[in-house]
Structure 1
Amino acid sequence: MVKYCEKIETLIIQNSTSPSSTSISNKSFSSRLKHLIHRNSSNSSLSSSPIQPKTQKTQMILLNPTDPNYILVKSLFKGRPLSLSKVLGIFELHMPTKLERLHEAYKRKLSKKTGENIEKLTHRMFHGTTSNLTCSFIDEWNNCNIESAGGHIERTFCEKYCGLCGIIQHGNKTKYTRTKSLFKRNRMWFANDPCTSLYYCNNGYNENDIIKSMFIVDVIEKTPKGILVVNKDKATLPRFLILFEMSGSPFGKSVADYNTFL
């Protein structure tokens, strides 16, 4: 969980169609996610300019439920108890240029060192995280009518102790993890099964919090496994954010209001 992140704003593009909208055939979990994000990383341009300007803030695209990426990500977000969950929104993430470049450089370096194809080293994994009890990102989203905002709004984030706000802005950071070892650096955990990552989505103060968050992350590792543990920030790059609620929430009726932004 990220324990500190500066208060900053980022751009959300509401109900946008993903840069890539070609159809995706029925494939296995791993290959479908790999195809999805490999395609996004090679076609991630948000403008017609051949040279993309450097970005200091994360760009978040709120995917339309009819977008192929939305449909695919939601289809992979399943299994008990997630079969009882309700997806509230799926965001495609374009991280700051600095993080993107560090990740790509690390990927190429490892590929050259191991002789493995870059695609074989890139694994699409789930990462659950927590949010503050009164998360600035979620609270502001709840209080703002996105549909009437012309498609573009600025978001503020929690100043500290919020995994959701921290990862959106700065990616996964080992220094903020709770997994420590006497002889090794802090490590980050990622799973290819969303149900495994669900365990890490409980709010630190209230395990029945209304909104839960889970990321789909590119993780660079030589050996594919059900669970990957890494200790390098540049080995990871968030690609999608899923916001959802579990059935039986004690907040019941009020939670339905979150669905209005779709």
Structure 2
Amino acid sequence: MLELSTCPQLSLLSNTNPEYIEIENHIRNTMSLVKIIAIIKIHLPKEPKNWSKKITQRVYHGTRAKCDPNDILEYGICCSDEFCGMCGILNYGNKSKFSKRGKNMWFSKSASIANSFSFNLNLPQDYLRTIFVIDVLNVSDNDTDIIIINHDNATLQRFLILYEF
């Protein structure tokens, strides 16, 4: 049995919201068959000083869910399972100590690449998938689809996308 905790403040975006439309359009550029169930804005309790003045890049991070993503959508409830990437990122942000790839965290400019890391460990394949929209401090102006970050304070989670095919 998973323990439950309250997630940070979240708000469900309407499909007419400009942020929703922007994210949806970007996702559909690489995943045209996706059915977006929800785009949820994450309201961080405390944003790092001067973050908005720093140069950032918006990227995607697909992660595993060990619990049912519907619990977040319906009840605002996160699980406390250490292997649930979705709830861990909601509660703590992207942390290198939880990375499955050494101390590096991988992000992509393409939602389709992030999708390959986005599945639910305990539920059938037709359940909701999860991708985060993350702002990262862009340490270099590289032209690759993959960005590797190894500093915890270089990322901020902005949106959670729940979707299916």
Q: TM-score, normalised by structure 2?
A: 0.86
SS of the counterpart of 2:76? strand
What's 1:92 paired with? 41
Q: List gaps (5 residues or longer) in structure 2.
A: none
Shift of 1:64: 0.8
Match of 2:76 among 155, 168, 185: 155
Identity of aligned residues (%): 32
Q: Which has the larger radius of gyration?
A: 1
What's 2:160 paired with? 241
Matched, 1:172 2:94: yes
SS of the counterpart of 1:157? strand
CA distance in 1 between counterparts of 2:139 and 2:151 reads 13
CA distance in 2 between counterparts of 1:59 and 1:156 reads 11
Question: Which amino acid is the alignment partner of residue 128 of structure 2?
Answer: I
What's 1:37 paired with? none
> Could you list the runs of 4 or more consecutive aligned residues of structure 1 that deviate by over 6 angstroms after TM superposition?
none
CA distance in 2 between counterparts of 1:204 and 1:136 reads 10
Q: List gaps (5 residues or longer) in structure 1.
A: 11-57, 109-116, 145-153, 181-185, 247-262
Q: Decide whether aligned partners of structure 1 residues 140 and 239 sit closer, same or farther in structure 2, where only a CA change above 3 A counts.
A: closer
Matched, 1:123 2:123: no
Q: TM-score, normalised by structure 1?
A: 0.56
What's 1:77 paired with? 27
Pairing of 1:1-262 with structure 2 (within 5 A): 7-10=4-7, 58-80=8-30, 82-97=31-46, 100-101=47-48, 104=49, 107=51, 118=54, 121-132=55-66, 135-139=67-71, 141=73, 155-160=76-81, 161-180=83-102, 186-205=103-122, 208-225=125-142, 226-246=145-165
**CA deviations over 1:178-230 (Å, ceiling 9, x no partner):** 002xxxxx110011111111111023356724100111101012213321111
Larger helix proportion of the pair: 1
Question: Which amino acid is the alignment partner of residue 59 of structure 2?
Answer: M
Larger strand proportion of the pair: 2
RMSD: 2.4
